[in-house]
Structure 1
């Protein structure tokens, strides 16, 4: 089958890889001059199945108000006259119940675990490298209340057999020795030893090279101008290099997927939530993190990537605005400077932002859309890197008329055809 993949980020490239491995003829179109130059470019670097949780959960509306009032708060809302923003927020609020949180998390964790295992298998079969580390993730709690509130998450981890450790101060320092210098600033942590880290951009670049070696064609610098639907099938797309046709199409354009789906009269509930990161050169390896530390108070991830520290966080709801706001940089600098003083050269840090494609309930949209030959692989939110390989493998199986290795029914876009 001839397949066009729209989007060359980590989701699009992994989709292309697994589709060509399944025997399909694949072409990828992306408006950027190379792969992974938008949301996949400088994310937090975590492959963290244990933290695969929906943002919508019990108590989130109250917490959101507190976060908005914090000096270094993790949430920013910039209201706009945008019906899609308010519709998405309303749907998200409707998912902020214990019952829906449990349901949505039960859909996310198996996919994230499967994706991590698929990434491992890919690494073993191809030898691909990307500054990867397999040293786990430490969620660090500055307050006893945070540590005491881990019961619900621990129960889910137990349910799905995810290894975990509840650590006191000494245990946290054992996992991340550099924290010894600031041990008075936290009370304990939750460590997930099965989590990994790695440079998503580096991975996507190298996987794209493997794709080319297997016959995948990449058309970079090729903006999608128009998508044409005849009755309920896509016939072709208009790019900067002309009209292109295929037997099937995959929408893997992140937050921009929803814009194109609206032009087809088949809207999907995916909305951009902007995240920021800084990439800090390591100045003292002994004072830098070993793997990933999640600063629970500020919702900031601090990750070791080779000779750099990637610091990512913030949820900014501001539509498709890609402006860099210095206040967000100060939040990231505060977190990493407070926990790992002297580990990196903050003055030499680069500053970046990207748009995470979020669904209101949390799980991504993977599978056939309402258009007969258009498939979706989008809506992964903050977990695109974590879920990329598993999502791509699931979709390749669906498109090849094979039964996926995990239950993917509830990841289908069909769940939004029913009232939520």
Structure 2
């Protein structure tokens, strides 16, 4: 079949790779001049299956209220009126139950663990290098209450067979010696030795080049205007350069996916959650992180990428705003300097933001839709890099009519149809 993929971020490019390897003719369209120029450009750098968890969790509503009054708040909700935002927040709050959290986290970990294995296979097959390291993630707790709250995550990890280590302060310093200057701030940690790190931009760019060399067609600088529907089936897309037709279309446009599919009656609950990052050159090797340290207090990840430190995190619910407020930069600097003071040159820090496509239950939407010929691979939130390879492989299997290696029934759009039958129509009947 000829497959048209909309979006050349890490999700679109991995989808293209696996679909091409499955024998399909693939063309990828993107409005940017090259791959990975939006949300995949400067993310936190984590490939963290063990840390895969929904933002919607028990206790989050109360925490969110407290965060509103903090100087360095990990979550900010802009007060501007937005019906889509209000609806998404309401559905997210509906997932903040113990039962929902267990279900959502379990399926996220399932996909993320599979994705990490797919990434390893892909790396071995292609030889792609992207400042990768396989030395785990350390979730760092500054307060004893955070250590106690981690028990619910540990239970899910144990149930899913995910390797983990519970560390005291000394144990944290043993795996991340650069934390020595912050020893008095550490209450403990949860280490996930199976996690990895790497530069998502470097990976995506290299994989796109490799895919192009094997026949995938990439068309950059092309604006996608609408989908082509004939006889109830999606047949391609209308672009700024005319029609591009195929036997199936994969929408991998991140936060912009809902706008494109809305005309087909699909109410895709994906909303942009803005995240920020800093990239600092390392100037003191002994003070720098070895792998990734997740500062649980500020929800900030501090990752070693070659000779750089990537500091990424925060969550701002502000629609499609791409401004770069200095107060958000200050929070990232506060976290990295508090834990790894003097490791990186803050004067040369590159400040960036991106829009993470979040679903209210945390799980991405991967698979077919009620509209024949239309497939989705979007809604990965903060875990696009973590879940990219596995999502691309799963999507390829579904499009090709093959049985996937993992359970996929609860990853698709159909779960929102079931939700709609319980609480009212989410999708018009004609969809």
> What TM bracket, shorter-length normalisation?
over 0.9
Aligned position for 1:160: 160
User: Which whole-Å CA distance do the structure 1 matches of 2:149 and 2:250 have between them?
Assistant: 40
Q: Write out per-residue CA displacement over residues 242-270 of structure 1, whole angstroms, 9 at most, x where no aligned residue.
A: 11110000000000001111132212000
Superposed, 1:42-121 pairs within 5 Å as 42-121=42-121
User: Which whole-Å CA distance do the structure 1 matches of 2:183 and 2:80 have between them?
Assistant: 42
User: Which whole-Å CA distance do the structure 1 matches of 2:55 and 2:225 have between them?
Assistant: 33
Aligned position for 1:173: 173
Q: Write out per-residue CA displacement over residues 298-350 of structure 1, whole angstroms, 9 at most, x where no aligned residue.
A: 00000000011000011100111111111110000000011000100011000
User: Which whole-Å CA distance do the structure 1 matches of 2:389 and 2:14 have between them?
Assistant: 6
Alpha-carbon distance, 1:69 to partner = 1.2
TM-score by length of 2: 0.96
User: Which whole-Å CA distance do the structure 1 matches of 2:226 and 2:173 have between them?
Assistant: 54
Superposed, 1:149-298 pairs within 5 Å as 149-298=149-298
Aligned position for 1:31: 31
User: Which whole-Å CA distance do the structure 2 matches of 1:255 and 1:229 have between them?
Assistant: 22
Alpha-carbon distance, 1:204 to partner = 0.1
User: Which whole-Å CA distance do the structure 2 matches of 1:340 and 1:235 have between them?
Assistant: 52
CA contact (8 A) 2:4 2:236 kept: no
Superposed, 1:280-359 pairs within 5 Å as 280-359=280-359
User: Which whole-Å CA distance do the structure 2 matches of 1:320 and 1:403 have between them?
Assistant: 37
CA contact (8 A) 2:236 2:247 kept: no
- Structure 1 residues 38-47 or 221-230, which shifts more? 221-230
1:15 partnered with 2:12: no
User: Which whole-Å CA distance do the structure 1 matches of 2:154 and 2:325 have between them?
Assistant: 35
Size of the aligned set, in residue pairs, is 420
Question: Which secondary structure does the structure 1 equivalent of 2:183 belong to?
Answer: helix
User: Which whole-Å CA distance do the structure 2 matches of 1:155 and 1:236 have between them?
Assistant: 45
1:126 partnered with 2:126: yes
TM-score by length of 1: 0.99
Question: Which secondary structure does the structure 2 equivalent of 1:404 belong to?
Answer: coil
Q: Write out per-residue CA displacement over residues 10-43 of structure 1, whole angstroms, 9 at most, x where no aligned residue.
A: 0000000000000000000000000000000000
User: Which whole-Å CA distance do the structure 1 matches of 2:384 and 2:30 have between them?
Assistant: 17
Aligned position for 2:363: 363
Alpha-carbon distance, 1:231 to partner = 4.2
Q: Write out per-residue CA displacement over residues 132-175 of structure 1, whole angstroms, 9 at most, x where no aligned residue.
A: 00010000111111112211111111111111111111110110
Alpha-carbon distance, 1:378 to partner = 0.2
User: Which whole-Å CA distance do the structure 2 matches of 1:228 and 1:28 have between them?
Assistant: 16
User: Which whole-Å CA distance do the structure 2 matches of 1:267 and 1:183 have between them?
Assistant: 48
- Structure 1 residues 245-254 or 362-371, which shifts more? 362-371
Aligned position for 1:395: 395
- Structure 1 residues 106-115 or 146-155, which shifts more? 146-155
Structure 2 gaps, min length 5: 423-431
Q: Write out per-residue CA displacement over residues 185-234 of structure 1, whole angstroms, 9 at most, x where no aligned residue.
A: 11111100110000000000000011011100000011102222234211
User: Which whole-Å CA distance do the structure 2 matches of 1:150 and 1:62 have between them?
Assistant: 17
- Structure 1 residues 67-76 or 10-19, which shifts more? 67-76
User: Which whole-Å CA distance do the structure 2 matches of 1:54 and 1:381 have between them?
Assistant: 9
Question: Which secondary structure does the structure 1 equivalent of 2:28 belong to?
Answer: strand
CA contact (8 A) 2:36 2:201 kept: yes
Alpha-carbon distance, 1:235 to partner = 2.6
Change in 2 beyond 3 A, CA 1:24/1:288: same
1:5 partnered with 2:5: yes
Question: Which secondary structure does the structure 1 equivalent of 2:410 belong to?
Answer: helix
